[in-house]
Chains A and B, each alone.
Chain A
Amino acid sequence: MDLSKMKELVGQESSSTTLRHNISISDVRHWCEVIKEDDRNYKEFGDSVTTAPNAMLMAWTMPPLWSAQPRPPTEPHELVIEELESAGYKVGLGIALEQKFLLPVNIGDRLSYTVTLAGLSSAEVETSLGAGYRIDLDYTFTNQDGNVVSQQKYTVAQMKSIQLQH
């Protein structure tokens, strides 16, 4: 693992990824059915819901379950995580998330996001669940008009294993 090479990526921003779909009532309904125990069918739901819960933004950045043409890691944060994983730091544990919501996410919006690798610890840091590398990621979400919808700071500890302390 070449830490100095990884450090050179700190401060770099990824290219912009546009989400696969417009913000859809069915994605929002499925989220609300689990998180909020909202049992309304799509019609009742769609009649009253015009914006998506802000907390869903991160859900839309998740990679697909399967893709016919899997995309190799190319972005700065992906390269760093791949490097750590191949060095045995296989468990990524989200340890902090700071979210700023600047504009509502409307049903039908087409969002894009970028990720900046804002920080990488120079050595293993201790967490309550074990030692690992700390990665700071800055997410910026924009809508189809180019306006910033949300900014988020996400901190991940990339660890060899999670140790529960008894």
Chain B
Amino acid sequence: MRNDYGILRFDSPKEATMDYSKVEHLIGVDSPRHPPHDVVSDTDVDHWCQYMQDTNPIYTDEEYAKTTEHKGLLAPSAMVHVFCLGSLRPCLEQFVEGKFQYPTDPNNQVNVIIEEEGYTGVMATAQTQQHFKSIKVGDEVFWTLQMAKFSTYDHLSRQGVGRKYTMLYQFYNQHDELLCKQSFDVLVYRPPMVTRRLYAG
């Protein structure tokens, strides 16, 4: 049904679209609360600040930070998600081999299904954060996650035919205080055949 350039003809049969009922039961269900992978450390905050070119002394100048109401170094609030991300090898296993560190989390079950359905392209499209409390160096950031919304039909995006979903994160410190609520929008898409042929070799 394809011409020499791998382009689908207009009269080609439609690629079967994903049935929403496959994921419906997983939407809106919270994951268990997970422990952080890294403690909030002065060195990780320093890495971030060097990269971002952030000179705010509340993040890197301990002597200054002690004189403030916080009595010590803070981490930039935008870093809240960083300490929860896992280490290199499990992350590569997740993205390359589809093996999840928390395979029973509802959002990860959804991810397995959409990969099987051919939505192999992934792109974050939006992020919102509401910060309720400052993160201190030495804090431990615990988190829960749920897949809150998932499109029931295909969208036509610049990247290809795809679905959109929204994940909601809640971050807590070791005293069970809510640090941040975060939403994270993702587009998953089936890369068009032309792109797949160009780059997949």
Q: Tell whether any CB of A sits under 8 Å from a CB of B in the complex.
A: yes
Interface of A with B (CB < 8 Å)? 20-21, 24-27, 29, 33-34, 37-43, 46, 64-68
Asked if A65 meets B43 with Cβ closer than 8 Å, knowing A41-B36, A41-B38, A42-B37, the reply is no
Which of A21, A33, A46 contacts B88 (CB under 8 A)?
Answer: A33
A24-B42, A25-B41, A26-B41 known; A66 and B36 CB under 8 Å?
no
A21 near B38 with CB under 8 A, answer no
- In the assembly, what is the distance between CA of A115 and CA of B51, in Å? 27
Closest B residue to A34 by beta carbon equals B88
Q: Are A67 and B89 in contact (CB under 8 A)?
A: no
A151 to B90, CA, bound (A): 36
In angstroms, Cα B46 to Cα A21, docked, is: 9
Known contacts: A33-B87, A33-B88, A39-B87. The answer to whether A24 contacts B41 by CB under 8 A is yes
Contact B39 A42 (CB under 8 A): yes
In the complex, chain B residues whose CB is within 8 Å of the CB of A64: 50
Q: Residues of B at under 8 Å CB distance from A?
A: 35-39, 41-44, 46-47, 50-51, 53, 55, 86-90
CB pair B50–A26 under 8 Å, yes or no, is no
Q: Closest CB-CB distance, B53 to chain A, in whole Å?
A: 5
Q: CA of A64 to CA of B43 in the docked complex: distance in angstroms?
A: 12
A residues within 8 A CB of B36? 41-42
Chain B residues, Cβ within 8 Å of A33 = 87-89
Check if A39 sits within 8 Å of B86, measured CB to CB.
yes
Q: Give the shortest distance, in Å, between B185 (CB) and chain A (any CB).
A: 28
Q: Give Cα A23–Cα B55 distance, bound, in whole angstroms.
A: 22
Chain A residues touching B, majority SS: loop
Tell me if A41 and B35 are in contact (CB < 8 A): yes
CB distance from A49 to the nearest CB of B (A): 13
Cβ A39 vs Cβ B90 within 8 A? yes
* CB-based nearest A residue for B49: A66
- Given A20-B46, A21-B43, residue A29 in contact with residue B38 (CB < 8 A): yes
Identify 18 new A-B residue pairs, CB closer than 8 A, beyond the known A33-B89, A65-B51: A21-B42, A21-B43, A24-B43, A25-B41, A26-B38, A27-B41, A37-B88, A38-B87, A39-B89, A40-B87, A41-B35, A41-B38, A41-B87, A42-B38, A42-B39, A64-B50, A66-B51, A66-B53
Q: Name the residue of chain B whose CB is nearest to the CB of A67.
A: B50
Could you tell me the distance in whole angstroms from the C-beta of A42 to the nearest C-beta in chain B? 5
In the assembled complex, the Cα of A41 lies from the Cα of B37 at a distance in Å of 5
**Measured CA separation A56–B42 after assembly (Å):** 18
Contacts of A67 in B (CB 8 A): 50
CA distance A33 to B87 in the complex (A): 6
Nearest-Cβ distance from residue A35 to partner chain B, whole angstroms: 10
